A and B are shown apart, each in its own frame.
Chain A
Amino acid sequence: SQTIHQWPATLVQPVGSPLSLECTVEGTSNPNLYWYRQAAGRGLQLLFYSVGIGQISSEVPQNLSASRPQDRQFILSSKKLLLSDSGFYLCAWSVREGTEAFFGQGTRLTVV
């Protein structure tokens, strides 16, 4: 069966520090991968998606970047965090267009 791992679960970082969040998927090949952000009391906003190794598309301009160095690994990064980067970050995968996405347990990021 397929599983998705996302870490860390919580993170407190000072303004201006770098960020690296990692997500890995097991039990499937060539998944579509996604990074979403959820602000408090709001729905999920898509940040990045990837349909293959090295293929990254950004949905919104921001202080973040994403990379996919391996088929089932998706990384969210920042060189210098801003206060506005605080939020709940969720990684997800799907088999293909038209199918459901499965989410990781999320990372609660607080920038102080």
Chain B
Amino acid sequence: EDQVTQSPEALRLQEGESSSLNCSYTVSGLRGLFWYRQDPGKGPEFLFTLYSAGEEKEKERLKATLTKKESFLHITAPKPEDSATYLCAVQESGGTSYGKLTFGQGTILTVHP
């Protein structure tokens, strides 16, 4: 059974204080790893897709990396508007996955001014 574990559960940063969020996963075969941002009361917003170990993606202050067992979401010089819950999800390879995602519990990020 696919498992996704995110850490820490909550992270408080000062504006400009860089840090990383972790997503550890266990799948028989990885088709893709996805990062989402979710604001309170809203649906998740897609950020990145990573497909293979060593791959990196960047968007503004966010950078996602992938190894064979985990992914990191690095946040450089965060601003208060980066405050949100960040969700990690994996999609298993194989003919019957149909694009189904298995999500972690999320990391609640709070950036103080």
Residues in chain A within 8 A of chain B (CB atoms): 6, 32, 34, 41-46, 49, 51, 57, 59, 90, 92, 94, 96-106, 108
Contact = CB atoms under 8 A, between A and B. Distances in A.
Interface stretch (B13-21, B62-70, B71-79, B99-107): B99-107
Contact of B43 (A32, A45, A104): A104
Given A103-B44, A106-B43, A98 B99 contact: yes
Interface in B35-68: 36, 41-46, 49, 51
A46 B43 CA distance: 14
Contacts of A57: 98
A50 to B, nearest CB: 9
Contacts of A108: 41
The 5 nearest A-B residue pairs measured at CB: A103-B43, A43-B103, A44-B103, A94-B99, A43-B105
26 contacts: A6-B43, A32-B98, A34-B99, A42-B105, A42-B106, A44-B89, A44-B103, A46-B100, A46-B102, A92-B43, A96-B99, A97-B31, A97-B97, A97-B98, A98-B31, A98-B91, A101-B34, A101-B46, A101-B99, A102-B46, A103-B36, A103-B44, A104-B43, A105-B42, A105-B43, A106-B43
Interface of B: 4, 31-32, 34, 36, 41-46, 49, 51, 87, 89, 91, 97-106
Contacts of B49: 99-100
Residue among B36, B101, B105 with most chain A CB within 10 A = B101
B101 A46 contact: yes
A59 B76 CA distance: 38
Contacts of B97: 97
B98 A106 contact: no
B42 A44 contact: no
A104 B38 CA distance: 12
Nearest to A93: B99
